[in-house]
Amino acid sequence: MKYYHHDHHGHHGEGLPVDLSEAEKARMLLKYTLDHNRAHEEEIAALASRFEANGQPAAAKKVRIARARMVETNIALEEALALAETAEPEAPAPEEA
């Protein structure tokens, strides 16, 4: 069985301009992550269809549930990015118990 792998280098800020603030670097990485995740959303939807077509509806259902969770995650990340792009830096929030 062949598995496909794509290159994950550069995910942690390698190659970003050194003259950027940490906040700017974080925003750039978040934008990259969103684009990356959106591509995976499409792949996951296609996987669900393949399981369904192969007579594996239970597997297809689980994959669709996972995709829905990914969509929710991406919405939260989009909201975080919008806040990061419009807000001034805040004081750190107190840790939750």
pLDDT in tens, 40-76: 998 999 999 999 999 999 999 999 999 999 999 999 9
Do you know the residue count of the chain? 97
How high does pLDDT run on average in the chain? 85
CA 15 from chain centre, in angstroms, equals 20
Q: Which residues contact 27 (CB under 8 A, 6 or more apart)?
A: 81, 84, 85
Q: How many whole angstroms separate alpha carbon 11 and alpha carbon 27?
A: 13
pLDDT band at 32 (very low <50, low <70, confident <90, very high): very high
Orientation angle between helical segments 57-86 and 22-53, nearest 10 degrees? 160
